[in-house]
Amino acid sequence: MKTLVVATGNPGKLKEMQRYLAQTDWALELKPPELDVEETGSSFLENARLKACQVAAATGEWAIADDSGLSVQALDGAPGIYSARYGRDDHHRIDRLLRELGPNPDRRAEFVCAMVLARPDGSIALEAEGICPGEILPSPRGTEGFGYDPIFFVPEANRTFAEMTAAQKHQLSHRGRAFALLLPQLQALENT
């Protein structure tokens, strides 16, 4: 079993990744708490690369990182890479987004997840990007999930992320789609 360091200090993200990687032989662990990576990239993919490569090089282990967020068409892609910093908490982030979008009839949006796997020397081994298209509702619906989930409507499922079961979201979400692309390649690496 190979160790795979998840380039985050968030135990919730580690747990989520463990669900996606349950059928592999990778043993996941959190990055060391003293190892901080500044997200200075201008895209989700650049930030995921920074995190994966720096954590792999610092630990000498395989590392995986993701960077994800919400991109709203009418707001020129905002909040984008600043999705988590768009307000002090989920409630304020949703309020700000709805206020800035206002009555604009163009509600198109997408959740994006960039995923990068880096070798122990810090070089990039694999990359994948998952996108879930949807639209922004004028008010929240549903009680599941977190972040922008209550206002992100997925036409394919005819519900918001916050109205989906964990299994539905796992399959349709941007992160689920990124993992669907990454998993076959990751499993091939297990045998090298």
Q: Where are the domains of the chain?
A: 2-189
In this prediction, residue 189 carries a pLDDT of 77
**Residue 75, CA distances (Å) to 70, 82, 115, 152 in order:** 11, 13, 24, 15
CA 124 to centroid of chain Cα atoms: 18
149 is catalytic: no
- pLDDT tens digits in sequence order for the chain, 192 residues long: 788 999 988 787 888 888 888 888 888 999 999 998 989 999 999 999 999 999 999 999 999 999 999 999 999 999 999 998 999 999 999 999 999 999 999 999 999 999 999 999 999 999 999 999 999 999 999 998 889 999 999 999 999 999 999 889 888 999 999 999 998 888 787 666
Q: Is the peptide bond before 79 cis (omega within 30 degrees of 0)?
A: yes
Range 2-189 classified under CATH 1.10.3720.10: no
What is the layout of strands, in order, in the sheet containing 2-6?
Answer: 26-30, 2-6, 62-72, 108-118, 124-136, 152-154, 159-160
Please give the model's pTM, rounded to 2 decimal places. 0.91
In this prediction, residue 191 carries a pLDDT of 65
Question: Which of 25, 36, 66, 67 is an active site residue?
Answer: 67
Whole-number Å distance between alpha carbons of 172 and 175: 8
